[in-house]
Structure 1
Amino acid sequence: MKFQRPLILLPLLFAVVFDGETIEGAPPLWCAAAAGHLAVVKLLVRHSANVNSITKTNSTPLRAACFDGHFDIVKFLIEHHADIEIANRHGHTCLMIVCYKGHIKIAKYLLGLKADVNRKSVKGNTALHDCAESGSLEIMKLLLQHGARIEVDSYGMTPLLAASVTGHSHIVEYFKQHVGLVSRKDMVDAMELLGATYVDKKRDMMGALSLWRQAMEERFEDGKPPLPKSVPLMTVAAYNDAREVLTLDELEELVSDPDEIRMQALLIRERILGPVHPDTSYFVRYRGAVYADAGQFDRCISLWNYALDMQQKILEPMNPMTQSSLFSFTELFSFMISEHSRFRNSNSGGRGGRQIPPVAYDDILHVFEKALRELSLGMAHPTAVECSNLLGHMHRTMVLTMNICCLLARHQAFLSKQQSDRLFQYTEKLVQMAPVGNKVSPSNIFT
């Protein structure tokens, strides 16, 4: 009788690209589950593959199968003791990912197994938030039937506000029709925020005005306590000193002024979400980019500076979002300088025949000062020497700062003595800081 040598699976780990994202340390079972190969999954499990093995981001084969809705693999893994509550490094569970991806069959199955509907991620969001962000209304109804609570995440966002930010009006309407799920004030905020989303994401100004009108009517509905807006006393120069409308009459006057409607969207978003929420600075930057495309570079620079100030006050040093803002400035300034130079030399107009104005020296110096501040804070970070990610961020920030310095140097021949002295002062500060980056090839500095 011959004995067949048993197959022994070595603990191989792979780096695989899945949906455009590189997954480090993925076990073979994770790869098979993610790709939907049920036969391979069965073969690996039959040969003792660990059903609860994880990637470097703590993702399990079960979570991989949940991501793309491979129900048969999900069922098989759970029947072979896969743990439905193992969360990835962000605290996202299997139930959360199927809610976000809209896989209702798997959601029903997990809920039948008593999956925790109120589990929170690292940032405090729940499965209800994931449904709201993705627009999965039917799964949201299931979660509520299984005792899901309306919670607030670390940004102060409820599922209702999450739906408003992402523009899922059917989710907002569901909450509106089911009185008691949220407060009256929350509903008003949601309609106003949804209106802002209509302006910036859907470019539907009439839809936005309709939502703001409904919200205003609810604020001052007869027989109910009024809900006046809490607006700042000071205006924001970057918003063209616009003030948020406080009455229906003021709201009706917006119809003839599209630019004022756009500023209202920014004001509403900042009031409701606050400066901490990423969408607040993102849409300020987005609006600035739109102005730049229309040739209104002063408006763009003003808005981008406001967004950068917001980021530097709130985010940790050298946050990727702050780096992105600095990078946008380098691109904008480089474009304006090259296009203005082309116009001056050829006398034929800039891109598309449009004359591009020169970049103001003070505008570049202002951003250079902020880049130096970012670099200085990053170098003072207590883990800067030990953290490879932070070293990479510092390298990119250093390169951005040097690029801005080079843009300033191109103005040197036209500077007054006072301006030249300021440039020397800031450049000397950069040299004295002596920043050191990591070894990153020039081709992937900004990837």
Structure 2
Amino acid sequence: MWDEETETECVNDIVRLTAWKASDTYGALYNDLMQEVKHSAPGARLSARLRTALERLSPDDRRLLCSRTRDGCAPLFIACRRGNLEAVEYLVHVCNADLEQRGVYEVRVPDERSVHCVTALWCAAVAGHLPVLRALADAGAKLDAGSDSGSTPVRSACFMTHLDIVKFLVERGADIHRPNHNGGTCLINSVQSLRLCTYLIDHGAEVDATDMQHKTALHYAIQEHRLETARLLLARGADPRLTSRAGDDALRTAALKGASQVMALLAARVRYGPSRLADAYELLGATQLDEFNDVSACLAAWRRATALRHATGQYVPKVPEQEPRKALLYMREWRTMAELEACAADADTLRIQALLVCCRVLGKEHKEHVFRLMYRGASYADSFRYQRCIDLWTWALEIRLEKDSILYPDTCHTACALTRLLLDARGALPAQPHEDVVHIAELLMNALPEAREWLVPRPVFKKQADTFDRALRCLAHLLHLMLDTASTDEERAHVHRRMRRVVELQLRSAHTCDTLLHLSVSRLTVIRSSYCGEEAGALFPSVSLAKALLAAGADPLRRNAARCTALHVAVLPYNFSSALVEALLAGGAHLDQPNKFGDSARELLALNAHSAVRPLRHVTLQCLAAAALRRAPAAPAVPAHLVHFVDLHRP
């Protein structure tokens, strides 16, 4: 029966065990063991001195010592990783090491590095040490113990193309049908090896098993241009008409990845209509141009597609028909061979035709189409053709906002890239892009309120909160650009109306509850984008934006999470300018309004030696009386109409 005395004995045992583990003898023995398993030759035994010292310990103490870890790995795990069979057998059979104790394993393959928490058997399987794997399996280690991502040893061995390891595990009863957390199967992980795929299919692997993206092994074989594997899968019954979550079947996947040989194989084995084949070859040509910059291969594919559309004597139309778009210079796709040859004379026209093909065949919301819009826009920006880039990226932002929320990382990345581009393009365009700035700002103004509501329920994911704050900083920059690019009275009037609208939205940042007025006076309001390199030159603090927001009705007394007003932020030394502080005070800010730490803006203002602001001109008798009430030992009765004013002067 469990009682207080038993509990006390257990606590004492734990204390004694902790003290013993910390002793010099235990530590020295453990260090010696770790040194030998790390640095001894793969087939070497542990030294006689170390074995003698270990065997003098009790069985429980030996097991306890072998369960101790360094850098996340126990001695058995390290011995398995290095393939030291002698050390593994000694630790398993003499020291009774825990076979299922997990360690940290780093998988290194070309272009990929990943770290996983796995068992010793998983480690041996991925490292390709068959004798060690056999020893662990004979000792009773679990064959299907998955990693932290749910990948079993046999699945991970397939990824590393260890055919002998896979054969051994399958013979011992490993489950080749069990996927990882993303649905990836052994067969999907084996498309790089024809022999491995053949072995798995012969032993019952499901050819059309799909992962969470609804992709089959055939999809992955095509993506990697594995012609022979694709041929094998088709011969063994793989269905080429199965579509992924993005709507891509085998033929479209081949066209998207530029796998022309696989396309020829599919065209020979599967009955497709002329319109379907023509679409595929047109998409293949677009890929050859956009991904591989191969104009001749692109034109060859497009000529073949055009011939297919005219093969029967009656033109096979391109469906669905696309409306002309400003971003694509209102162009339409070619229809005849003569029109195609005319396009071939101009490289820029060819690239626009490639985008037209992608939009029609894939659909405008397909991720590959949006990616190609961003890529083509970046190439225009690199050649200082900013307006073309602005048009393409604006269209990409519209598509992503229509499909996903601004909280979706790719959508926010597009908004940041576009804002940075507008900042970089100032002065580089013949005319300031006022209409573009206004349009993009309105897109964000329409998207941010709903996104902010989604962040109200708890818990809030940090990544989504960060994404929202980045988008809000983009809006602050766009508002500044709206003021900067407005050149006529009519444009300025439109800007003022939009300022009033954005103030009415009462947007606040997710982490610190900053308003747009707070952001407009802070040097920390910056945006970064992987498309545009380093962050742009600082626009903030912005006196003009602060004045415009105040004129539109922004509340200068509104506090953030630290109960700081915009004036608290503006008087910080790295934000300070006398003009900025004077603008806030003229708009109704209070110098003696404290934050949650009890610091008033008046006290922080004193930190700026070069300040030209005269505090006494902005402190009223009302403010002094409210401060006196705050310091009073007993709170006196305050008239109802003054309660709010007095509360403003409380921390």
TM-score (norm 2): 0.59
The answer to whether the 8 Å contact 1:16/1:26 transfers is no
Q: 2:255 matched to which residue of 1?
A: 164
Letter in 2 for 1:418: A
Letter in 2 for 1:79: E
Judging changes above 3 Å, is the alpha-carbon distance between structure 1 residues 429 and 103 closer, same or farther for their aligned structure 2 residues? farther
Counterpart selection for 1:327 from 397, 409, 416: 416
| 1:73-99: CA deviation from partner (whole Å, max 9, x where unpaired) | 222222222211111222221101211
Q: 1:297 matched to which residue of 2?
A: 386
Q: 1:107 matched to which residue of 2?
A: 197
Please tell me whether residue 53 in structure 1 is matched to residue 141 in structure 2: no
Judging changes above 3 Å, is the alpha-carbon distance between structure 1 residues 409 and 37 closer, same or farther for their aligned structure 2 residues? farther
Please tell me whether residue 240 in structure 1 is matched to residue 322 in structure 2: no
The answer to whether the 8 Å contact 1:336/1:357 transfers is no
In 1: Cα distance, 2:405 partner to 2:502 partner: 24
Q: 2:125 matched to which residue of 1?
A: 33
Counterpart selection for 1:395 from 466, 482, 485: 466
Counterpart selection for 1:121 from 196, 211, 218: 211
In 2: Cα distance, 1:34 partner to 1:357 partner: 59
In 2: Cα distance, 1:149 partner to 1:284 partner: 31
Matches within 5 A, 1:250-289: 250-289=339-378
Please tell me whether residue 318 in structure 1 is matched to residue 407 in structure 2: yes
The answer to whether the 8 Å contact 1:57/1:89 transfers is yes
Letter in 1 for 2:463: G
The answer to whether the 8 Å contact 1:132/1:171 transfers is yes
Counterpart selection for 1:370 from 443, 451, 473: 443
Identity %: 29
In 1: Cα distance, 2:466 partner to 2:408 partner: 12
Shift of 1:132: 1.1
- Larger CA deviation: 300-309 vs 230-239: 230-239
Judging changes above 3 Å, is the alpha-carbon distance between structure 1 residues 15 and 293 closer, same or farther for their aligned structure 2 residues? same
In 2: Cα distance, 1:39 partner to 1:385 partner: 51
| 1:29-60: CA deviation from partner (whole Å, max 9, x where unpaired) | 33443343444434443443322222343222
Counterpart selection for 1:421 from 484, 487, 496: 496
| 1:117-145: CA deviation from partner (whole Å, max 9, x where unpaired) | 01122222211111111111101111112
Q: CA RMSD in A?
A: 3.3
Q: 2:629 matched to which residue of 1?
A: none
Counterpart selection for 1:433 from 493, 507, 513: 507
Shift of 1:174: 1.9
Letter in 2 for 1:433: L
The answer to whether the 8 Å contact 2:455/2:510 transfers is no
Shift of 1:258: 1.8
Judging changes above 3 Å, is the alpha-carbon distance between structure 1 residues 327 and 406 closer, same or farther for their aligned structure 2 residues? closer
- Larger CA deviation: 409-418 vs 233-242: 409-418
The answer to whether the 8 Å contact 1:84/1:94 transfers is yes
Shift of 1:115: 0.7
The answer to whether the 8 Å contact 1:128/1:159 transfers is yes
The answer to whether the 8 Å contact 2:419/2:477 transfers is no
In 2: Cα distance, 1:411 partner to 1:185 partner: 47
In 1: Cα distance, 2:151 partner to 2:504 partner: 45
In 2: Cα distance, 1:69 partner to 1:384 partner: 46
The answer to whether the 8 Å contact 2:434/2:485 transfers is no
The answer to whether the 8 Å contact 2:438/2:482 transfers is no
Shift of 1:403: 4.0
TM-score (norm 1): 0.84
SS in 2 for 1:256: coil
Shift of 1:190: 1.2
Judging changes above 3 Å, is the alpha-carbon distance between structure 1 residues 358 and 166 closer, same or farther for their aligned structure 2 residues? same
The answer to whether the 8 Å contact 2:455/2:465 transfers is no
Shift of 1:410: 6.2
Judging changes above 3 Å, is the alpha-carbon distance between structure 1 residues 87 and 10 closer, same or farther for their aligned structure 2 residues? closer
| 1:294-348: CA deviation from partner (whole Å, max 9, x where unpaired) | 11111100000101111111235522221221232233234335xx5xxxxxxxx
SS in 1 for 2:187: helix
Shift of 1:204: 2.0
Judging changes above 3 Å, is the alpha-carbon distance between structure 1 residues 32 and 410 closer, same or farther for their aligned structure 2 residues? farther
The answer to whether the 8 Å contact 2:437/2:481 transfers is no
Counterpart selection for 2:264 from 173, 178, 182: 173
Shift of 1:362: 4.0
In 1: Cα distance, 2:281 partner to 2:456 partner: 43
Q: 1:360 matched to which residue of 2?
A: 433
Counterpart selection for 1:185 from 258, 264, 275: 275
Judging changes above 3 Å, is the alpha-carbon distance between structure 1 residues 170 and 238 closer, same or farther for their aligned structure 2 residues? same
Q: 1:219 matched to which residue of 2?
A: 309
- Structure 1 portions without partners, runs of 5+: 341-354
Letter in 1 for 2:211: S
- Larger CA deviation: 271-280 vs 318-327: 318-327
The answer to whether the 8 Å contact 1:29/1:51 transfers is yes
Shift of 1:116: 0.4
Letter in 2 for 1:175: L
Letter in 2 for 1:159: A
In 2: Cα distance, 1:335 partner to 1:33 partner: 52
The answer to whether the 8 Å contact 1:96/1:130 transfers is yes
In 2: Cα distance, 1:233 partner to 1:278 partner: 18
The answer to whether the 8 Å contact 2:100/2:141 transfers is no
In 1: Cα distance, 2:529 partner to 2:125 partner: 32
In 1: Cα distance, 2:343 partner to 2:179 partner: 47
Letter in 1 for 2:503: E
The answer to whether the 8 Å contact 1:375/1:394 transfers is no
- Structure 2 portions without partners, runs of 5+: 1-55, 60-93, 513-524, 531-651
- Larger CA deviation: 243-252 vs 398-407: 398-407
Q: 2:458 matched to which residue of 1?
A: 385
| 1:378-432: CA deviation from partner (whole Å, max 9, x where unpaired) | 33448963463xx4133123123214413543664665642552463365256x2
Judging changes above 3 Å, is the alpha-carbon distance between structure 1 residues 97 and 429 closer, same or farther for their aligned structure 2 residues? farther
Aligned residues, how many? 423
Shift of 1:23: 4.3
The answer to whether the 8 Å contact 1:317/1:377 transfers is no
Please tell me whether residue 154 in structure 1 is matched to residue 245 in structure 2: yes
Counterpart selection for 2:154 from 31, 42, 62: 62
The answer to whether the 8 Å contact 1:336/1:358 transfers is no
Q: 1:347 matched to which residue of 2?
A: none
Q: 2:628 matched to which residue of 1?
A: none
Judging changes above 3 Å, is the alpha-carbon distance between structure 1 residues 332 and 212 closer, same or farther for their aligned structure 2 residues? same
Matches within 5 A, 1:63-142: 63-99=155-191, 102-142=192-232
Q: 1:6 matched to which residue of 2?
A: 96
Judging changes above 3 Å, is the alpha-carbon distance between structure 1 residues 331 and 56 closer, same or farther for their aligned structure 2 residues? farther
Which protein is bigger by CA-based radius of gyration?
2
The answer to whether the 8 Å contact 1:369/1:426 transfers is no
In 1: Cα distance, 2:433 partner to 2:202 partner: 63
The answer to whether the 8 Å contact 1:304/1:325 transfers is yes
In 2: Cα distance, 1:359 partner to 1:161 partner: 41
Judging changes above 3 Å, is the alpha-carbon distance between structure 1 residues 399 and 50 closer, same or farther for their aligned structure 2 residues? same
